[in-house]
Amino acid sequence: MAEQRVVIGVDSSTQSTKAVAVDIDTGAVVGQGRAAHTVSEGAGRESDPEQWWRAFGEAVAGTGWADRAAAVSIAGQQHGLVTLDAAGRPVRPALLWNDVRSAPQAAELRAAFGAAELARRTGSMPTAAFTAPKWAWLRANEPAAAEQVAAVRLPHDFLTERLTGEAVTDRGDVSGTGWWGPDGYDQDILARIGLDPVLLPQVLPPGARAGVVRPGLPLRQGTPVATGTGDNMAAALGLGLMPGQPVLSLGTSGTVYAVGRDRPADPSGTVAGFADALGGWLPLACTLNCTLAVDRFATLLGRDRDEVEDGGTVVVLPYLDGERTPDLPGASGLVHGLRHDTTPGQLLQAAYDGAAHALLTALDGVLRAGGEDPAGDEPLVLIGGGARGRAWQQTVLRLSGRAVQVPDAQELVALGAAAQAAALLTGEPADAVARRWRTAEGPVLEAVKKDDDALERIGDTLRRAGALQGAPAEGQ
């Protein structure tokens, strides 16, 4: 009998690290591990990279395969700014994707180059979420810390380098920095924000090996390590996504994306023109406020997250951490149209609607940016922590007008990383590995009539709120 070959895929996310051990031949998950992270609750959103490393070790050990895995790969939260000294230690806590303090620096970068030029160079209009403005913020606000920096990394780069000793990254994750385009690192943008390219890792081609595990670490010495990628790119791999299949991910942040045939370049800033982890593109729209924001409303109302009620005309914009789509980094939550007869369940449903609205209204732009037909009838693939929630499912069905597919597989980001690891050994593309594992299979919920009245109500409130915030509202 042939020896079982197992790989480990890791998802280092905002709130925790998850690891899955997967049988290369069958796709069966044979072990899982998890360890929590903490995120600061102060002026910004920060996290100590050293705790990611500790959580990585705990999660990998929890799979039961750390000493036997044939290969490993790490996916991580996008955009985070990890700054290291000459010894490889963090100079300060990492600035996370949902830290919006760098909004002024993002605005300065847009003003310096112009929207069309930045979209041409990098595919995206950088917001406060992107890494480039975060570096500019660090130089402006903590110059002594910036002077100590000998290496700048993304979260998944940091962990991969700790494992292998190699300073490398991949095209998917680096495409979310705001300083990389198809021709490589953009020297003009780097000069503008004062970042020496010598501090940055090498961008490896898709499917390349990052290195092997060094001795004395949580995995067996010599184990091959794939390049890894950003969490959204890994989820696309984990689904074995084909061009034109739209995905809505409900997590701490909300994202809607699809693998595209064409390189995106949206000067409006709604669609980020990311690369995928293979040789293509992953146009994506992202919001900062998703499941955590809705859960906060449920807590304030003293209700279970699924205790929603139909009816009512109240509108909630749950921008509790500012917002990225629409670009309102200084925004706060807003409740509009509250009446005596508004019930707590209607108010909670309005929070769901507000969280889903921006993503679903960006869906056509995401598909169009990748060269796909927005009028296609592909089911909307629903993933992430909220995907199995009844209220989330019904909200997405009602506001999208599309059928919704909910994959049975869980931890799709970690599964995508596992597919990368398996591809090192089998020679297949990573997305082909996932399709062979049949990770996207799951029930399809039939489409219902789109609730245009709710969409119009939210859109009207958003336009007014955008004007009050002094920033362009959606659709302008």
User: pLDDT band for position 377 (50/70/90)?
Assistant: confident
Decide if pLDDT at 468 tops 70. no
Q: What's the maximum distance between 2 C-alpha atoms anywhere in the chain?
A: 70
Decide if pLDDT at 407 tops 60. yes
pLDDT at 205: 95
Name the residue with higher pLDDT: 474 or 130. 130
pLDDT at 2: 67
Q: Which of 157, 170, 173, 231 is catalytic?
A: 231
User: pLDDT band for position 475 (50/70/90)?
Assistant: very low
| Region of poorest pLDDT, from 263-272, 333-342, 433-442 | 263-272
Q: CA-to-CA distance for 39 and 343, rounded, in angstroms? A: 33
Q: Please compute the mean of the pLDDT values over residues 375-404 and round it to a whole number.
A: 93
Which residues make beta-bridge pairs with 444?
405
284: helix, strand or coil: strand
Question: Is residue 231 annotated as part of the catalytic site, yes or no?
Answer: yes
**Counting Cβ atoms within 10 Å, is residue 162 exposed (0-12), middle (13-18) or buried (19+)?**
buried
88 in Cβ contact with 163 (< 8 Å): no
The tens digit of pLDDT for each residue in 33-50 reads 999 999 997 778 999 999
Strand spans (E) along 118-271:
151-153, 168-170, 180-181, 184-185, 202-204, 209-212, 224-226, 229-230, 247-250, 254-257
Decide if pLDDT at 384 tops 60. yes
Kindly list the distances between the CA atom of residue 390 and the CA atoms of 36, 114, 393, in Å, as whole numbers in the listed order: 26, 43, 5
| Region of poorest pLDDT, from 82-91, 303-312, 318-327, 333-342 | 318-327
The tens digit of pLDDT for each residue in 408-439 reads 998 999 999 999 999 999 999 999 999 999 99
Q: Please compute the mean of the pLDDT values over residues 191-209 and round it to a whole number.
A: 97
Decide if pLDDT at 323 tops 90. no
Decide if pLDDT at 448 tops 50. yes
User: pLDDT band for position 141 (50/70/90)?
Assistant: very high
Decide if pLDDT at 104 tops 90. yes
Decide if pLDDT at 25 tops 70. yes
> What residues contact 64, with CB distance under 8 A and at least 6 apart?
21, 30, 31
Which of 395, 312, 310 has its CA nearest to residue 357?
Answer: 395
pLDDT at 418: 98
Decide if pLDDT at 264 tops 80. yes
472 in Cβ contact with 466 (< 8 Å): yes
User: pLDDT band for position 472 (50/70/90)?
Assistant: very low
What secondary structure letter does DSSP report for 4?
A: P
The reported pTM is: 0.90
| Region of poorest pLDDT, from 126-135, 167-176, 326-335 | 326-335
Which of 99, 106, 158, 162 has its CA nearest to residue 133?
Answer: 106
Angle at 26 between CA 24 and CA 31, to 5 degrees: 70
Alpha helix segments (H runs only) across 71-180: 103-113, 115-122, 131-141, 143-148, 155-164, 171-174
> What residues contact 324, with CB distance under 8 A and at least 6 apart?
127, 128, 129, 253, 286, 287, 288
pLDDT at 476: 33
What percent of the chain is helix, strand and coil (3-state, nearest 5)?
Answer: 35, 20, 45
